[in-house]
Amino acid sequence: MLRTAINQSARNFGTNVTCSIKCNRLEGKVAIVTASTEGIGFSIAKRLAQEGAKVMISSRKESNVKKAVEELQTEGLQVAGTVCHVGKTEDRKNLFEKTKANFGGLDILISNAAVNPVVGSVLDSTEEVWDKIFDINVKSTFLLMKESLTLLKCSKSPSIIIVSSIAAYVPLNLLGIYSVSKTALLGLTKATAEELAFDGIRVNCIAPGIIKTKFSEPLYKSEDNYNVAISRINMKRLGTSDEIGSVAAFLASSDASYITGETIVVSGGMQSRL
Ligand code: NAP
């Protein structure tokens, strides 16, 4: 009942976000998007390719990579794929080598992979969970950035985008250590943006709110959790992956040529900062 009322009121904010992509802002660019076989990563990869980029798709499972690549190629988009578990050194090495071999270089790195193996508060978590979350969410992002520099330094308009979360600003009780890891990514964005500005490499970050994907199901699947989530969103609806894809395309494009070290919150108005 409440869900119906909320959905009706959300219509007033215009939830029809589908539109045809008419600009070619990323023509001639090459992009890597990690964890891009579904959800937010898939939408980012699709949007970059729709705007003219050649995109390397990747995730842990070969069958997922194959499916995502086929779907995008069917739409006439220029994509290739490879398996890459971001926590594995060999996989990351292979990701960069395959991108260079397939597309000749790299202009845009999007670090999107993250895990949250447990649902619960910070102090209820174990050291093992802390290590797993920080290894994938933070350390792998740092390593991908470092390892991408040889290729990015050859680009005329290089850019890195890190996917953080609204939880970086307002820790979510159900996502304890995950929230802390996402706050660390805001720091990583600031620190590296300063260091890489000299090389002309822009580093920015996106902090999505609650976006309807498999990952965020615990936050909206039950009626109770859905109502709690919606009560914190001014626009009274969950976000879509495509609404993150469009922001990533903007940040990667020359429309954002004077933006570095920033985080764009895409949350339908969830509280994030003053
Ligand atoms: P999702 O729909 O569950 O998709 C997860 C993707 O990540 C899949 O393609 C999966 O494919 C891949 N993946 C998982 N572990 C990986 C690893 N170790 N290495 C490489 N790929 C891996 O998740 P999502 O909601 O799109 O989340 C994407 C990003 O957005 C994450 O950084 C998340 O923290 C952030 N975010 C999401 C929300 C939200 O509400 N959904 C909100 C804020 C931030 P395989 O299984 O084949 O590996």
Q: Which residues contact 124 (CB under 8 A, 6 or more apart)?
A: 176
What are the angstrom distances between the C-alpha of 173 and each of 121, 125, 176, 229?
5, 12, 6, 12
Residue ranges lining ligand 1, Cβ < 6 Å: 34-35, 37-41, 59-61, 64, 84-87, 112-115, 136, 163, 165, 208, 210-211, 213-216
pLDDT for residue 1: 46
Evaluate whether residue 201 is within a structural domain. Answer: yes
- Which contiguous run of DSSP H or E holds residue 249? helix 242-252
Query: pLDDT band for position 215 (50/70/90)?
Result: very high
Q: How far is the CA of 41 from the centre of ligand 1 (A)?
A: 7
For residue 78, the tally of other CB atoms under 10 A from its CB is 14
Evaluate whether residue 67 is within a structural domain. Answer: yes
Q: Are 51 and 23 spatial neighbours (Cβ–Cβ below 8 Å)? A: yes
User: Which residue's C-alpha comes closest to atom 3 of ligand 1?
Assistant: 215
How many whole angstroms separate alpha carbon 158 and alpha carbon 107? 5
Residue 178: active-site member: yes
What are the angstrom distances between the C-alpha of 24 and each of 20, 50, 53?
12, 8, 8
Q: Which residues contact 145 (CB under 8 A, 6 or more apart)?
A: 109, 111, 160, 188, 192, 203
Q: Is the pLDDT of residue 8 over 50?
A: no
Evaluate whether residue 42 is within a structural domain. Answer: yes
Evaluate whether residue 18 is within a structural domain. Answer: no
CATH code for the domain in which residue 106 is found: 3.40.50.720
Evaluate whether residue 68 is within a structural domain. Answer: yes
pLDDT for residue 20: 67
Evaluate whether residue 158 is within a structural domain. Answer: yes
> Which of 32, 40, 44, 136 is the pocket-test mutation for ligand 1 (most atoms within 8 Å of CB)?
40
Q: Are 93 and 147 spatial neighbours (Cβ–Cβ below 8 Å)? A: yes
Instruction: Give me the percent of the chain exceeding a pLDDT of 90.
Output: 86
Q: How far is the CA of 59 from the centre of ligand 1 (A)?
A: 9
Q: What is the pTM of this model?
A: 0.95
Evaluate whether residue 271 is within a structural domain. Answer: no
* pLDDT tens digits for range 47-92: 999 999 999 999 999 999 999 999 999 999 999 999 999 999 999 9
How many domains does the chain contain in total? Answer: 1
Q: Are 155 and 99 spatial neighbours (Cβ–Cβ below 8 Å)? A: no
Q: How far is the CA of 207 from the centre of ligand 1 (A)?
A: 13
State which residues form the domain around 222: 2-9+26-266
Query: pLDDT band for position 131 (50/70/90)?
Result: very high
* pLDDT tens digits for range 149-163: 999 999 999 999 999
Evaluate whether residue 17 is within a structural domain. Answer: no
